[in-house]
Structure 1
Amino acid sequence: MKKPLGAQISHMLKDRGVDVIFGIPGVHNQEMYRGIEEAEITHVLARHEQGAGFMADGYARATGKPGVAYVITGPGVCNIMTPMGQAYTDSVPMLVMSSCLDEMQAAHGQLHQMKDQRAAAGTVTDWSHQANTAQATYGLVERAFEEFELSRPRPKHIQVPIAQLQAEADPAPFPNQFGLRTQALPPDVAPVLSMLNTARRPLFILGGGTRSNLWRQILTQVGAACFTTYAGRGMAGLGYALDFGAMLPRPGSAEVIASADLVVAVGAELGEVDLWRRSLGHTANLVRVDLDPQVLSDHHRAEVKLQTDGESFARALWASIDHVNPATGWTAEEVAETRGRWRAEVDAERPGIVPVIDALREAMPADTMIYSDMTQFAYVAKEVWDMAYPYHWHHPTGFGTLGYALPAGIGGAVARRGKPTAVIAGDYGFHYTMQELGTAVELGLSLPIILWDNGKLKEIEDSMVGSQIAPNAVVAHNPDFCKLAEAFGALSATPSSLEEMQSAVRAAFDAPRPTLIRVTPDVL
């Protein structure tokens, strides 16, 4: 039956598997809210559109499904652009639906008016389009979900004029069958198998696009060593003896990679934030496996390139791997010695953090999903904290925005009710989105929020000193974070020892509301 288009949009999303929408209503987009409850979709009210976007990001990373956000014209779109930019660089499927003004060129001084909202959103999304009819709206939503399924997942923005949202519209068409992604088959991986069969020191680099539970078996069967990017951590599981971990940014990793006689990079962009250098360091043949042609054609110049997803590549490889002679060039002792040396480097670069990380890891269940912010604590943890499961640590790697962890962790916790989820933030970055504590309390989330409070922008201070710049503007006045959390209705703790910190974290997973755990360098 006919309904206002705003209501029909929610029903269309529900039919395509959307069960949660994050956002903030306003007079311009209120018609989209007419259909949310009717479609039996849960709406999570953020305290800021930036928070709504990060929640949608965190939900998408936890589920693999697109995260959806509703925002208003103008400032709502501007506020969510940072989360969209983060989702773009980190390959996160996100759909942002917004209202827009009916007339722009011949009208001035309107509420929420900006020069070109669609174009602005297009700078941080895969695409940004305006739908001027109901059918155009339905077509763009259908296209977004099709591309989430088939292409490199990235955010999309659809804006609909206010009058169209209010106008009566027929229901959206029934969901169409998604197209079939081209997948790798055993014949496609024959060149890689041939190379593996003659390699003595094969090395795999596993990135965030390697979704498969076969990698541990493949690496073991082939006798290959591996690195992971930050996004690919946990892909080899805990305890694989030839795993160099997420240590690609270590300068010495280039020397290790140069010693390999075959390098296979799967679902890894190998960009600046993966390597922190331009050259990978390889001297042998390089194989690249990726969905994105831009990645395959980059400056690393692979000899063999396969445009496919990591999961089907792993299946095709595993189907024929028994014909490969296991390599014997790597030893567990070599890997352990190298990793030990790199761990010592990490500890020396940012002293006093590694022991706190070790204690925190012991206090968390192995299947905890962690959302971290741009803070020294996370920078250290990403290198020394081995993950038991893939896709269980999420960080704003590419865009590198502050304020990500808390709202993204809320989105993850909404998606993982009954499973452990935690947040790690720094004191300065926490200021960006700390108002979302209200959302976490409102939802009754059992969410430990570990706040690393060193009282300053310590990473920037260290960088300034290293560049012979007198540290400036690196210290800000902090509130009493625990009182702030309690004012929102959250629990709080300031442990004075590592043992107290561990107890507070364990209790937080069972609490009926979020717990802010303020940890300072004095905890040691």
Structure 2
Amino acid sequence: MTVPRISGGDALVRALKAHGTELVFGIPGTHNLGIYRALADHGVRHVTPRHEQGAGFAADGYARVTGRPGVCLTTSGPAVLNAMTAVTQSYSDSVPVLLISPGMPLRHPGRGNGTLHEVRHQSAAFEAVIGYSNRVHSVAEIPLAVAQAFAHMTAGRPRPAHLEIPLDLVDALDKAPDVAPVLVAHPPADAVTIAAAAGRLDSATRPGLIIGGGAKWAAEEITTLAERLGAPVVTTANGKGTFSEHHRFSIGAGLHHKAVADFIADCDVVLAIGTELATTDLWNGPLKFTGDLIRIDVDPAQMITNASPDYRLVGDAQATVAALNHRLGKGKSTPDAPTRAERWRKLFHRHARTQGAPWLPLVEAMREALSPGAIIAADSAMACYYGTLSNLPLEGPASFLHPTGLGTLGYGLPAAIGAKLGAPDRQVVALHGDGGIMFTLPELATAAAERLPLPVVITDNGGYGEIRREMTARNDPVHAVNLPGIDFPRVAKGLNCHGVTVDDQDRFATALRKAFTVDRPTVIHVAGDLAGA
């Protein structure tokens, strides 16, 4: 069979389609127009955010809720560097996002010559930050490079990847044989270690489970395991919802509470699944495992980072928990297991409600308005990590999208756009503070163009409230954190969205319910005491 000569742009889009890509987030530019022509020719859906960082965050949100790699396309130089923060957040939270950009021509002078969007060592910069960047050297290599990138993103621990195509290859013609996707296996841990861990769990009298973001596609298996063991369950921010917070064995989400530290210290066996046990989740120092620790993680290096387990189960979370369930059989949940879980749940929520007190009316209104399976795309904001994380019960994998590891601002709105496009049948809410929303506020125009019924909740505490609090705690001068007020509803209407300001719980609940029924986003500006100000 004769292989036809095609352009680099065609080779790229054909390869993306072969790997199941249906949607691309990006912004066209001078150097990637050949790729955009191919997107149109091959019928790949494209969404145009208003900033490349927003494109990256949207791809991240899409990947988190679908389990498939999100794809972000930029042009070279400042555009791809704008997206670097987004894919670094994806790296930090183990999210598969493919960032594609042109680069300087193949024979570009090593010291540069002033070409438009010229950046020295662009690919090397991404290699240094996210650990994977591949600059191709021919049109024929492009299908192989796409297959390699998808294999990297979907094998083992999910991570983002950067693919750079020299700008003179985008329109160049050559033969580019197709490369079929690599079928990636997701095996369980080895049988001997599983048997040993199952034996220890079977003998446990006070077991406990910690569920992280790496376990979110094992929700059914984890529920079965918890019920067989009679084990109370706590989750990290990115694991929130994987184990339903309405389940009788759920303690709650958020590892930073004193009740969690006390619970873990009380357990004779703790099983931690898909969690780094990192400071970004713990806040107050490492947990003390007085009993045995069993860890399940697909990343062998992570297995011994932050806490060294007594049993090391290196393997896919879903497959490994399924194998544990098979080994345990019916299990032996004791009659007092629900009572034990209830006791720890009450202690947990006492601490959570104390910490989140200023936002409890807001949280309660959200609880009443949300349907099962709702998604909160949360920014790095006080209303999110103090308010909703531990006080708003959710159920279903990828229910709480949060920039946990890197802690970037501006994540919520564009991530919500990606999440809604990836899961159109689930309610999605973007939750921000008034400081963080300004990082990506123009993405309201993107959501409006896509006609998304998306509530965008902005809690207004007059600036950077968390940093203001830290300055006060240090007895430092409080400055540079108080921001002048913005008429957010008016801005929203200027960007073709609905907008309303509310300052009481009932009006907020009404506005939130209505926002799910209209044909465009609704900015709900939360002011006064309801915002935790």
Q: Same fold (TM over 0.5)?
A: yes
Given that 1:492 and 1:516 are in contact with CA atoms closer than 8 Å, whether structure 2 keeps it comes out as yes
Residue 156 of structure 1 is aligned with which of 158, 161, 164? Answer: 161
Match of 2:196 in 1: 191
**CA positional deviation for 1:30:** 1.2
**1:337 Cα deviation after fit:** 4.0
- Answer yes or no: is the 8 Å Cα contact 1:202–1:262 preserved in 2: yes
Q: Which string of whole-angstrom CA distances, capped at 9 and with x for unpartnered residues, describes residues 373-407 of structure 1? A: 01111012111112121211100010100000111
Q: Partner of 2:325 in structure 1?
A: 318
Secondary structure of 2:435's aligned partner = helix
Question: Which residue does the alignment assign to 1:369?
Answer: 375
Deviation at 1:333, TM superposition (A): 4.1
SS at match of 2:252: coil
Aligned to 2:252: 245
3-state SS of the aligned residue for 1:476? coil
Q: What TM-score do the two structures reach when normalised by structure 2?
A: 0.94
Match of 1:23 in 2: 26
Which residue identity is paired with 2:210? I
Q: Following TM superposition, by how much is the alpha carbon of 1:287 offset from its aligned partner in structure 2, in angstroms?
A: 0.8
Alignment of 1:165-180 (within 5 A): 165-180=170-185
Give the AA of the match of 1:29: N
- Structure 2 residue identity aligned to 1:47: R
- Could you tell me how far apart the structure 1 residues matched to 2:306 and 2:503 are? 49
**TM superposition shift of 1:235:** 2.4
Alpha carbons 1:202, 1:327 under 8 Å: kept: no
Partner of 1:355: 361
Runs of 4+ in 1 over 4 A off after TM superposition: 185-188
Name the amino acid aligned to 1:491.
H
Pairwise CA distance, 1:106: 4.8
After superposing the two structures, state which structure 1 stretch, 243-252 or 440-449, moved more: 243-252
Q: Normalized against structure 1, the TM-score is what?
A: 0.96
Is 2:237 aligned against 1:230?
A: yes
Change in 2 beyond 3 A, CA 1:360/1:326: closer
Contact 1:201 1:327 in 2 (8 A): no
Preserved contact between residue 122 and residue 128 of structure 1 (Cα < 8 Å): yes
SS in structure 2 at match of 1:410: helix
CA distance in structure 1 between the aligned counterparts of 2:506 and 2:104, rounded to whole angstroms: 56
Residue 462 of structure 1 corresponds to which residue in structure 2?
469
In the TM superposition, what is the alpha-carbon distance from 1:20 to its structure 2 partner?
Answer: 0.5
Matching residue within 263, 271, 274 for 2:278: 271
Is the CA contact 1:452–1:518 (under 8 Å) kept in the aligned structure 2? yes
What is the aligned partner in structure 1 of residue 302 from structure 2? 295
Q: CA RMSD in A?
A: 1.8
Name the residue aligned to 1:453.
460
Q: Can you give the 5+ residue segments of structure 2 that lack an aligned partner in the other structure?
A: none
Number of equivalences: 523
CA deviation map 1:144-164 (0-9, x unaligned): 112223221111001111111
Q: What is the distance in 2 between the residues matched to 1:519 and 1:383?
A: 20
Specify the code of the residue in structure 2 equivalent to 1:69: C
Q: C-alpha separation between the residues in 2 aligned to 1:372 and 1:273?
A: 15
CA distance in 2, matches of 1:365, 1:355: 18
Which of 9, 12, 15 is the equivalent residue of 1:12? 15
Q: 1:187 to 1:350 in 2, by over 3 A?
A: closer
Q: 2:525 aligns with which of 501, 506, 518?
A: 518
Cα distance in 2 between the residues matched to 1:459 and 1:68? 32
1:9-46 Cα deviation digits (max 9, x unpaired): 11210121001011111111111111001111011111
Q: Distance in 1 between matches of 2:240 and 2:196?
A: 27
CA distance in 2, matches of 1:190, 1:399: 36
Query: Are the equivalent residues in 2 in contact too, given 1:197–1:326 (CA < 8 A)?
Result: no
Aligned equivalent of 1:434: 441
Q: Which amino acid aligns with 1:87?
A: S
Secondary structure at the aligned position of 1:287 is classed as strand
Q: Distance in 1 between matches of 2:339 and 2:228?
A: 19
Match of 2:214 among 204, 209, 221: 209
Identify if the C-alpha distance between structure 1 residues 26 and 335 changes in structure 2 by more than 3 Å, giving closer, same or farther. Answer: same
Letter in 1 for 2:358: G
From 449, 471, 480, the counterpart of 2:487: 480
Which amino acid in 1 is paired with 2:112? A
After superposition, give the CA deviation of every residue in 1:458-508 in whole Å (9 maximum; x if it has no partner): 111111111111211111123210000000110111123211111111111
Corresponding position of 1:84? 87
Distance 1:299 1:374, change over 3 A: closer
Residues 230, 338 of structure 2: 8 Å contact kept: no
> Quick one: distance in 2 between partners of 1:423 and 1:166?
39
Show the counterpart of 1:99: 102
Contact 2:31 2:102 survives alignment (8 Å): yes
- State which of 29, 33, 37 in structure 1 corresponds to 2:36: 33
Alpha-carbon distance between aligned partners in 2 of 1:216 and 1:398, rounded to the nearest angstrom = 26
- CA contact under 8 A between 1:451 and 1:518: conserved in structure 2? yes
